[in-house]
Chains A and B, each alone.
Chain A
Amino acid sequence: MLLHCPVRYLFTAILLLAASPASGHGARISWEVQGDSIRISGSFDDGCPMDQAQVTVFSGAAPSEPYITGITDENGKFAFLPDVEESKLWDVQVRKAGHGDIVHISLADDADIRNNHGGFSVLQIILMSGCVVWGFTGTALFFSSKRKRNNAHT
């Protein structure tokens, strides 16, 4: 099941592969971000896929209410498009026959970098840019005046 995603740029720049082992004696859930979507893969400990397993996706904005529900395919896979404007945190639960697990997916790191420009405010960036430009200009003026002075001496 794929949902519309209003913010595509978050995922399209990179292919973030974040396989995350998430279980013990019962279920194993891994996930990866592919383009705009998050792809879930469930399997039992013996390696068999969790086919037709119940999937419940929770958004960090309303973590106690299911955002979407669905069923894995015959290979134990399920995909959805998170609304990253709603939340950067997504929790996905996969269950079948008394086995289950939940994975916690944080997209916040990417978002912070992109939205907060590496943690500097706009004022800081303007001031730093000004300093760099002023530094180059000043250096150029310094050597330029020195050359003129040397020429004057000769």
Chain B
Amino acid sequence: MKNLTTILWAVLAFSFTIVSCVGGEADDQVEVGREVMDELEIETAGALAIRCNGEDFVRSGFVSVDGWNITFRHLYVTITDISVYQTDPPYDPHSTEEISGDVQVDLDGIFTMDLALGDQQAETILIGVMDSVPAGHYNAMSWNMVPALEGPSEGYTIYIDAQAEKGDESYSVYLGIENSYTYFAGEFVGDVRKGFVTAEEPGELEMTFHFDHIFGDFHQPSDSDLNMMAVGFEPFAEMMEEGTVSENLTSLREKLSEEIYFKLMDAFSTLGHTGEGHCYCIVR
């Protein structure tokens, strides 16, 4: 009987060893699979273009929620520290966290772009092309907006040069925003799905700026979500001096009511999108 017990324990130990070994083999296969995938991605690098878009609101003008017809001569934004990511699970901008991607590629440089260039048929504005990025789906992007170091918008992150008209009133408008913003975007939301890069097909991503968030949209219901967050143009018109409104954040802080000023600051933090997909924003 003692021999039988010994044999039983030996068989159980042997079986346990075999089960453990089989499990270890499976883990090794996963690791090998990852290495193969990494090599494939490097071999199948492609190009990714980064574009920006102020939408037709900026290119063709629009009517603010309070009835001001606004047309833009120039609308400068200065963008830097552009990074694109492949994230799994997909980055959720509502998480209010920064992006942590499996793949991250940076586009170096500081770019001051005039979003008012072009008409309704104009293409979105090309910021730059990253010629060789790992293939895959770039489903997240981040960028900083900082004050321009030179040029017509020097000292300002966002600089608006526009004309505002209502009835027989017409004002030249110059608004400079000094704050810096960091935007964290998830996947592009729009007519087509963007961000796919293969060796054969270059990809494209777009940062989109929704200036209707600042002034509102006359053609949307006044109690719509968009118009409720917008300040319209009337608060700026009240600052008019000799047919001109020329302000920056410092003067706006002094002249606007606290409620309108902070409403405006909130609206600026929601400017950045990717298509219609919204961003998590940190104001610096």
Query: Could you tell me which A residues sit within 8 Å of B by CB distance?
Result: 21-27, 44-46, 56, 58, 63-64, 93, 95, 97-102, 104, 106, 120-121, 123-124, 127-128, 130-131, 134-135, 138, 141-142, 145-146, 149
Given A63-B137, A149-B1, A124 contacting B94 (CB threshold 8 A):
no
Contact of A134 among B1, B8, B187, B270 (CB under 8 A): B8
Residues of B near any A CB (own CB < 8 A): 1, 4-5, 8, 11-12, 15-16, 18-19, 22-23, 26, 89-90, 92-94, 137, 186-187, 189-190, 193, 196, 210, 212-213, 220, 223-226, 228-229, 270, 275-278, 280
For A104, the chain B residues whose CB sits under 8 A away are 89-90
Q: Could you tell me if B92 and A22 are in contact, using CB atoms closer than 8 angstroms?
A: yes
**How far apart sit A56 and B196, CA to CA, in the bound complex (Å)?**
17
How far is it, in angstroms, between the C-alpha of A34 and the C-alpha of B16 when the chains are bound? 41
Known: A44-B225, A102-B189. A26 touches B19 (CB 8 A): no
**A95 in contact with B23 (CB, 8 Å):** no
The answer to whether A26 and B16 touch (CB under 8 A), given A95-B189, A102-B187, A149-B1, is: no
Verify A138–B270 contact, CB threshold 8 A.
Answer: no
A25 B270 Cβ-Cβ under 8 A: yes
What is the distance, in angstroms, from B22's C-beta to the closest C-beta of chain A? 5
From known contacts A25-B278, A124-B22, infer whether A130 and B15 are also in contact, taking CB-CB under 8 Å: yes
- Once bound together, how far apart are the Cα atoms of A107 and B59, in whole Å? 43
Indicate if the CB atoms of B276 and A128 lie closer than 8 Å.
no
Chain A nearest Cβ from B162, distance in angstroms? 20
Does B19 contact A127, Cβ atoms closer than 8 Å? Answer: yes
- Which chain B residue has the least Cβ–Cβ distance from A97? B220
A–B pairs, 27, beta carbons within 8 Å: A22-B92, A24-B94, A26-B226, A26-B278, A44-B224, A45-B225, A46-B225, A58-B193, A63-B193, A64-B196, A93-B193, A95-B189, A95-B276, A97-B220, A98-B210, A98-B212, A98-B226, A99-B276, A101-B277, A101-B278, A102-B186, A106-B89, A120-B23, A121-B26, A131-B15, A134-B8, A142-B4
